[in-house]
């Protein structure tokens, strides 16, 4: 078990800069997710940790030791690949013992057939067999040991790939979008199983995904990456509740946050779409702002009660427990989405104009540079308004 640290890690391919100085400390036993859209550098970061790629500058430390010059296999890490990367010509059992044989047995002992004559092979083999059985037991893949990867379903291959990572009892697990080849139901199931496995093993997990839902549900902390930078690092609910950057706000959460174009004035008052918002800037200044509301923080109103936004209802997406109302609102691109309980939206029909308000205290306001703007404390706000 070990912590992992990145210090000012950069990576350039020719003239293309994909990582702009990543600093990251992953604690021992932590489940950390690197999440971001494709091309943000998250997989590159993972592969630099693994040693499959070399950083252009900066240091990678594992357990306090700089490993820049250390081979992937000597870093004591295991990796699970998106395509699983199982050896297709080997059985599940052979796939699981391969990393152990490569680590524990010498060249002579690994020669097929003749290796059986090498001294000390039997003892090592039975130890390896034990370790393999243990991993197979935890992942419940014992009945599959004699099959080849081609004869397994996606979920079973996934387990075998996890098993191959587990057998060596590595300091940390690196996972590169391990669930993205599974169907939706299995993916949700495997999320729970991975979290459970993390608890059981107590090992460090570094998990790369483009799926914000996986990041939110599974990790202790998540790092949101975009354009080669870590924009925000923190526990999932903090990142969700308190996004520091408009790109984070839009990327995390589904349906995504509604961004309303707004304006600040010198008194600190905020308007969005020309409607006053019940918040105030901590440092008043004039200029354009973006006011973000999550779908669950917008509420549909039966009539214009003042300080309401309005839009035309174009689509009601009924999920049973909730209904998503899609509104065409003048002044914003795309659609505004409101999350409501079915009975709250009974009165609204598709094609009608409806009114909605933002919940007080839930607005997330971003400046023209995309960074979060501090709002005044509620008491202050009332005094100024």
**Chain positions contacting other proteins, by CB under 8 A:** 47, 50-52, 71-73, 77-79, 81-83, 85-90, 98-99, 102-103, 148-150, 164
Tell the smallest beta-carbon distance from residue 98 to other proteins (Å).
6
Tell the smallest beta-carbon distance from residue 159 to other proteins (Å).
16
64 vs 150 by CB, closer to other proteins: 150
Give the torsion sign (CA, 15, 21, 27, 31): negative
112 vs 119 by CB, closer to other proteins: 112
Peptide bond into 255 cis (omega under 30): yes
Tell the smallest beta-carbon distance from residue 94 to other proteins (Å).
10
85 vs 308 by CB, closer to other proteins: 85
Give CA 328 to chain center in angstroms: 30
10 vs 82 by CB, closer to other proteins: 82
Q: Which runs of E-coded beta strand occur in 14-74?
A: 16-26, 31-35, 57-62, 65-66
Question: What is d(CA 252, CA 339) in angstroms, rounded to the nearest whole number?
Answer: 16
Give CA 143 to chain center in angstroms: 32
Is the CB of residue 72 less than 8 Å from the CB of residue 137?
no
81 vs 324 by CB, closer to other proteins: 81
Task: Retrieve residue 7's tokens.
Answer: 């210090």
Other CB atoms within a 10 A radius of the CB of residue 239 amount to: 27
Is the CB of residue 352 less than 8 Å from the CB of residue 339?
no
Angstrom CA distances, 163 to 52, 125, 197, 204, stand at: 20, 18, 11, 16
Tell the smallest beta-carbon distance from residue 15 to other proteins (Å).
18
Is the CB of residue 356 less than 8 Å from the CB of residue 296?
no
Task: Retrieve residue 360's tokens.
Answer: 């007080």
Tell the smallest beta-carbon distance from residue 112 to other proteins (Å).
9
Tell the smallest beta-carbon distance from residue 40 to other proteins (Å).
20
205 vs 309 by CB, closer to other proteins: 205
């Amino acid at each position: 078990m070990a912590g992992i640290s990145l210090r000012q890690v950069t990576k350039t391919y020719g003239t293309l800069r994909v990582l702009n100085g990543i600093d990251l400390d992953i604690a021992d036993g932590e489940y950390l997710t690197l999440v971001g859209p494709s091309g943000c550098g998250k997989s590159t970061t993972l592969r630099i940790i693994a040693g499959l790629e070399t950083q252009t500058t900066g240091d990678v430390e594992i357990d306090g030791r700089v490993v820049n010059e250390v081979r992937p296999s000597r870093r004591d890490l295991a990796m699970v690949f998106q395509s699983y990367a199982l050896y297709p010509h080997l059985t599940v059992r052979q796939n699981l013992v391969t990393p152990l044989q490569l680590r524990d047995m010498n060249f002579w002992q690994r020669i097929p057939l003749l290796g059986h004559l090498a001294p000390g092979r039997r003892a090592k083999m039975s130890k390896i067999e034990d370790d393999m059985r243990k991993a197979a037991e935890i992942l419940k893949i014992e009945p599959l040991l004699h099959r080849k990867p081609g004869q397994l379903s996606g979920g079973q291959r996934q387990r075998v790939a996890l098993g191959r990572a587990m057998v060596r009892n590595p300091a940390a697990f690196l996972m590169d979008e391990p669930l993205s080849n599974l169907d939706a139901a299995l993916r949700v199931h495997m999320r729970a199983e991975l979290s459970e496995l993390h608890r059981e093993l107590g090992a460090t997990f570094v998990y790369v995904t483009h799926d914000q839902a996986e990041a939110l549900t599974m990790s202790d902390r998540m790092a949101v990456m975009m354009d080669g930078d870590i924009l925000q690092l923190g526990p999932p609910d903090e990142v969700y509740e308190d996004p520091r950057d408009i790109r984070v706000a839009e990327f995390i959460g589904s349906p995504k946050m509604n961004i309303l174009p707004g304006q600040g004035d010198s008194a600190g008052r905020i308007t969005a779409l020309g409607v006053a918002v019940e918040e105030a800037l901590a440092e008043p200044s004039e200029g354009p702002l973006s006011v973000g509301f999550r779908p669950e923080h917008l509420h549909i109103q039966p009539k214009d009660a003042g300080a309401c936004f309005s839009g035309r209802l174009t689509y009601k997406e009924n999920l049973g427990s909730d209904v998503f109302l899609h509104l065409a609102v003048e002044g914003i691109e795309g659609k505004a989405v409101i999350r409501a309980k079915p009975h709250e939206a009974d009165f609204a029909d598709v094609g009608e104009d409806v009114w909605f308000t933002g919940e007080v205290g839930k607005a997330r306001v971003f400046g023209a540079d995309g960074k979060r703007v501090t709002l005044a404390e509620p008491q202050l706000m009332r005094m100024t308004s």
